[in-house]
Amino acid sequence: MSLLSRASSQPLTDQLAQRFVTRMRDQLLVSGARLPSVRQCAQMHGVSASTVVAAYDWLVAQGWVEARPNRGFFVRDRVQRTAVPAAGRALPSPPPVNAASLIRGMFHQPSAVPQPGMGVFPPEWLDADFLSAALRKVVASPALRESSLRYGEPQGDTGLRDILSSKLDSIGLQAAPEQLITTVGATHALDIISRTLLRPGDCVMVEEPGWAIEFARLQNLGVRILPVPRLETGPDLEVVEWYAQMHAPKMMVSVSVLHNPTGYGLSLPVAHQLVNLAHRYNFHVVEDDTYGHMAPAHAVRLSVLDGLRKTIYVSGYAKILAPSWRVGYLAAPVDLKDAFLDTKLLSTLTTPVLFEKALALCLEQGAIRRHTDRLSQLLDAARSRSVKLALAHACQFVAPPQGLFGWVDVGVDTDALALRMHDAGYLLAPGSLFHADRRPGSFMRVNFASTQDELFWRILAKTRADML
């Protein structure tokens, strides 16, 4: 861990304040994040408590943070920062906190080592020759000239939608090609749905803990988030019904399979009851099935039970192919398809035809299935190793380890832990990122594929011990 320099001509107080401002500028500390306690910060940086108090006082005076009685110091939103820095002490202003800045913070890599907080598979796992071979075949075909000289089909490539319709039928979801719309990844599909169905001030139910970027994206649209506790069998139905009665939400976002970050699935009784609530209280359930490729064959899905009446199905291939291979899709109720298509046309006109045709070829030839089988084998082995290392270093799993992510209790404030581990070269995903109100706690999400190195767990254990 890098310490402040006592040999510098800059006072330690100024160095410490500058370090926190830099973290706010880089979105490693976002709006609402809690700073370490005075004692913790002094230990982290090898300075006296009075130095920390002076630095925090300066940050408060300049409008960067606010002091909350009996709670600590918290990062302020930029619009609240009205104080003007004193002459000669001006520091750069960070950009406003929004969905994009949260993504930058989540995916900022402090070093070249595998990052436990990342949400993707390691690049070496995704280096598949069949992708480039499929692209070469498409480029060499008349499709290249046809797709280059005009816009693609508004709903997406017909061949791909035909294959996707057959694939969905294999899991029990009957969705005609005419009900499918391709998108630039699953996140784009979620955005199309939200922008079509919601207006500022509307209420949306979202599972908590939940996907950090989904919270930020919805907040950026100006909607009111209603957090629903996620249980092992699915969302807490008592909370869902209470919200439905009190707030008349327009929509709910739910993950039925390999929930992020817990890995939970959905039980059949809960799925039936949730579908019934959606019909009774007239809200749509958006089913995010991004991790469905890695799911057991018997996994329960809301859209299958409902038949795409009050449910909207979303999935994509970027997660298992490559982060930059942005091909996703949504399966819509018949009465909403045209509205979703209008929103897509207004945002992107069309989607990348060459990628869609190449993906269709890979699906048709079985390359995606073989690739997914190989990924599953690699992930199973990685998960086994990571779980053993976590348990050996006194970490406890809050949910049964499954899928790509583990939901871990490390026993200390993970916001403070993340700051210390960043100095050691590791990017963590603290539990506060997965709550709408960025509630601090001792949980964090780990990527099983990126936590197979014992050195990471040793450093984490030592850092945690220093905090106790």
- Please tell me whether residues 287 and 207 are part of one structural domain: yes
Using only C-alpha atoms, the chain has a radius of gyration, in whole angstroms, of 24
- Please tell me whether residues 319 and 415 are part of one structural domain: no
Per-residue pLDDT 10s for the chain (468 aa) are 455 777 777 888 888 988 888 888 766 777 788 888 888 888 888 888 888 998 999 999 888 999 998 888 998 876 555 443 443 444 333 333 333 434 554 455 556 788 898 888 998 898 778 988 988 888 887 766 666 667 778 999 999 999 999 999 999 999 999 999 999 999 999 999 999 999 999 999 999 999 878 888 898 899 999 999 999 999 999 999 999 999 999 999 999 999 999 999 999 999 999 999 999 999 999 999 999 998 887 899 999 999 999 999 999 998 898 878 889 999 999 999 999 999 999 988 888 888 899 999 999 999 999 999 999 999 999 999 999 999 999 999 999 999 999 999 999 999 888 888 887 888 888 898 898 887 888 999 999 999 999 999 999 999 999 888
Query: What's the CATH code of the domain at 327?
Result: 3.40.640.10
Query: What's the CATH code of the domain at 120?
Result: 3.90.1150.10
- Please tell me whether residues 301 and 353 are part of one structural domain: yes
Give residue 101's pLDDT.
39
- Please tell me whether residues 377 and 274 are part of one structural domain: no
- Please tell me whether residues 356 and 377 are part of one structural domain: no
Asked if 397 and 407 count as a contact pair (C-beta separation under 8 A), the reply is: yes
- Count how many domains the chain has: 3
Angle in degrees, CA 220, 197, 349, rounded to 5: 80
Residue 325 belongs to a domain: yes
Residue 7 belongs to a domain: no
Residue 195 belongs to a domain: yes
- Please tell me whether residues 111 and 89 are part of one structural domain: no
- Please tell me whether residues 135 and 264 are part of one structural domain: yes
Nearest-angstrom CA–CA distance, 114 and 447: 10
**Which of 303, 337, 366 is the last residue before a domain boundary?**
366
Residue 426 belongs to a domain: yes
Q: Which domain holds residue 438?
A: 104-126+369-467
Residue 3 belongs to a domain: no
Nearest-angstrom CA–CA distance, 458 and 464: 10
Residue 4 belongs to a domain: no
Which of 180, 464, 107, 134 is closest to 344 using CA atoms? 180
Residue 432 belongs to a domain: yes
- Please tell me whether residues 121 and 158 are part of one structural domain: no
What's 117's DSSP letter? T
- Please tell me whether residues 212 and 63 are part of one structural domain: no
- Please tell me whether residues 66 and 147 are part of one structural domain: no
Interhelix angle 353-364/129-139, nearest 10 degrees:
120
**Which of 319, 342, 366 is the last residue before a domain boundary?**
366
- Please tell me whether residues 294 and 425 are part of one structural domain: no
Nearest-angstrom CA–CA distance, 168 and 269: 22
Could you please report the per-residue DSSP string of 52-70? HHHHHHHHHHTTSEEEETT
Give residue 18's pLDDT.
87
Four-CA torsion 189, 123, 301, 245, nearest 10 degrees: -50
Query: What's the CATH code of the domain at 52?
Result: 1.10.10.10
Nearest-angstrom CA–CA distance, 278 and 359: 34
Nearest-angstrom CA–CA distance, 199 and 182: 23
Give residue 1's pLDDT.
42
Matching residue, tokens 């709550």: 435
User: Positive or negative CA dihedral for 45, 48, 51, 55?
Assistant: positive
- Please tell me whether residues 330 and 197 are part of one structural domain: yes
Give residue 76's pLDDT.
86
Residue 1 belongs to a domain: no
